[in-house]
């Protein structure tokens, strides 16, 4: 069983709270399901893409006055501006849909599929920082 989630299912990001919460839920569901159906011989894998070259950013901007939103955000304005700039930059160097599809095919054809597949070096770095940090929740005491 393969499910496509997102790096947003591993790393929470400001101004993407609902999106990340939904992706975290999918990741948790698959993580909980994996040992159960694994006993029946069914492997579970999640595919975690980062930015993919689609119309995502254009659709987010469509019909919105971003500058007005930032101005209305008050103290959150600079953080919002930084987030938008970082997101748009990541989509300028985004991977292509066929590159993501190749990872899905690899997961489908692996003799021993892993639970987690990232689809780019950037996604590996981005999720790896959190997954390697044992001081982050829930490990913090």
List residues with catalytic annotation: 19
3-state helix, strand, coil split of the chain in percent (to 5) is 60, 10, 35
* CA–CA dist 49, 114 (Å, integer): 15
**60-64: long-range contacts at Cβ-Cβ below 8 A with a sequence spacing of 24 or more?**
none
Residues counted in the chain: 141
């Amino acid at each position: 069983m393969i499910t496509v989630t997102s790096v947003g299912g591993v790393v929470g990001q400001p101004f993407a709270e609902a999106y990340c919460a939904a992706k975290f839920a999918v990741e948790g569901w698959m993580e909980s399901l994996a040992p159960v159906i694994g006993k029946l011989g069914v492997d579970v894998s999640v595919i975690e893409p980062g930015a993919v070259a689609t119309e995502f950013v254009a659709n987010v901007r469509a019909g919105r006055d971003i500058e007005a939103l930032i101005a209305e955000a008050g103290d959150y304005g600079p953080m919002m501006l930084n987030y938008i700039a970082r997101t748009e930059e990541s989509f300028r160097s985004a991977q292509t849909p066929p590159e993501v599809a190749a990872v899905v095919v690899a997961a489908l054809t692996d003799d021993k599929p892993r639970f987690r597949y990232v689809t780019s070096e950037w996604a590996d770095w981005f999720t790896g920082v959190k997954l390697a940090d044992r001081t982050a929740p829930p490990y913090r005491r």
